[in-house]
Structure 1
């Protein structure tokens, strides 16, 4: 049995697959924000739940919103910032008493979609994950391209291109957790979408609630969505100019 873990900024999810790839079990729990040890315990709980439900012991692989530095062996560039600087794979392996294989979640998406998903058979795939944060991965011929520093595709920390006056103000008001201003992630993550709506309306809503208002033809929600779509298109235009992918896959966190 194979156990997969998706660690996100809001939720952590487990899936258990049989030998033929069939789903045996699936469950999610809230991600304990800003608590490294409790994050490990949540993952251990999910693995235990999967093994209890199936009566089998499984190998464990995991996608994380960051990467393991090939030089230091610790996590870097994670928007779940409490993971940064930690030997996450080693600590998790010790807790689960087995090898745990970690990879960037967007790289996992890129390979999955290139092998048998929306980009099956494509030579060059750029896969975007939009959730609490925003990241991306690159696959060439069905294999992840991670780069020399393990950060290929981390386009969410490039600056938003061609900013208008309001976006320049937004950049000043909403700094990125990385310490810079104007990062794409601050504009087009789910968090960024909700932040922009709050700036326009004065009301704090979740992204799903804003979309319900769009479906009801609420003018402020419609404006927020149009602004979001334009920012996403501008951000992807740079990728097209540099990488010229055969397929761009959009995924949600």
Structure 2
């Protein structure tokens, strides 16, 4: 039996088949069509293609933006907005003619890294997704913690902790609130903060490179970013105290943050003397599709 994972992204949909050792047997992708019915057909066709290339049938797991409400089974909070309000899992099962499993994409990254990635062997791991937006996922003893309302790990829409007077109330968030982490510690938030400080619009890598050259404004933007991300992670440390933080998304590629974050977390963690690991995702952009495949045990 093989495991098939699908990463339902905002611009692309990728399917992959893994063998028992976690080796890729097939990987295919298609652009996200932006249309619900077409997306269902694309999912069916992608699975058929990877199964044909792998020469075997398998279980199917889907990592998706947003989450499915345990109350009514409908999708919510997906940035692929045509999914919201739809009975996504049930509709995919009808089209594919088989049972599937689904999870938030950040949860899939956390699961992938806990199974055989950067957090392998840890009792608990929290995935920190800092890319276009901010996502999070918690895995304990190899199991995703989704919570009673399916909102476990959704730290992107809590306010930045320990705000300074200058930071309060924070920028408006698309969710309708102010000061959410999604607006402040995402890659998008990093760029927006630099623009507010300087009046100049640069992408994230350009700001980081400028900071490395000693540009004072870029240094200030990066310093503020590390401090804010560290405060946010200290909040998680105070609530969950994971063995490992695993970072994914574009800002996880900024090497400087790994040396600097522990001191910030320690300064805000209750009681101080915080010790823990902060590591980049081993599987990088592949973590989502790998975690989706891992929603089914190998014995299934």
Q: TM-score range by the shorter chain?
A: 0.7 to 0.9
For normalisation by structure 1, the TM-score amounts to 0.83
Deviations 1:63-87 (A, max 9, x none): 1122211110011233444422221
- For structure 1, the 5+ residue unaligned runs are none
1: CA distance, partners of 2:42 / 2:177: 31
Structure 1 match to 2:22: 21
**1:10/1:132 contact within 8 Å kept:** no
The residue correspondences of 1:75-154 to structure 2 (distance < 5 A) are 75-154=75-154
| Inter-partner Cα distance in structure 2 for 1:81 and 1:14 | 21
- Equivalent of 1:222 in 202, 219, 224: 219
CA distance 1:200–1:39, shift in 2 (3 Å): farther
Q: Tell which deviates more after alignment, 15-24 or 155-164.
A: 15-24
The 3 A distance-change label for structure 1 pair 62 and 246 is same
TM-score, with structure 2 as normaliser: 0.71
Equivalent runs, 1:27-106 vs 2, <5 Å: 27-31=28-32, 35-37=35-37, 39-40=39-40, 43-44=43-44, 46-47=46-47, 50-51=50-51, 53-54=53-54, 57-106=57-106
Q: 1:59 to 1:117 in 2, by over 3 A?
A: same
Q: Relative to structure 1, is the Cα distance of residues 121 and 27 closer, same or farther in structure 2, using a 3 angstrom cutoff?
A: same
Query: Is the Cα–Cα contact under 8 Å of residues 79 and 177 in structure 1 kept in the other structure?
Result: no
Distance 1:11 1:205, change over 3 A: farther
Contact conserved, 1:9 with 1:133, CA < 8 A, in 2?
Answer: no
Task: State the alpha-carbon separation in 1 of the partners of residues 192 and 119 from structure 2.
Answer: 31
Measured on the aligned residues, the alpha-carbon RMSD in Å equals 2.7
Greater relative contact order, per chain length (Cα 8 Å cut-off, separation 6+): 2
SS in 1 for 2:139: strand
Take 1:48 and 1:205, find their aligned partners in 2: how far apart are those partners?
Answer: 42
Aligned to 1:3: 4
Asked if 1:155 is matched to 2:155, the reply is: yes
Quick one: distance in 2 between partners of 1:41 and 1:224? 44
Post-superposition shift, 1:176?
Answer: 1.6
Deviation for aligned residue 1:154: 0.9
Q: Aligned residue pairs: how many?
A: 249
The separation in 2 between residues aligned to 1:221 and 1:38, in whole angstroms, is 43
- CA spacing shift, 1:119–1:15, aligned 2, 3 Å: same
Q: Where in structure 2 are there 5+ consecutive unaligned residues?
A: 250-284, 286-300
Matched, 1:238 2:235: yes
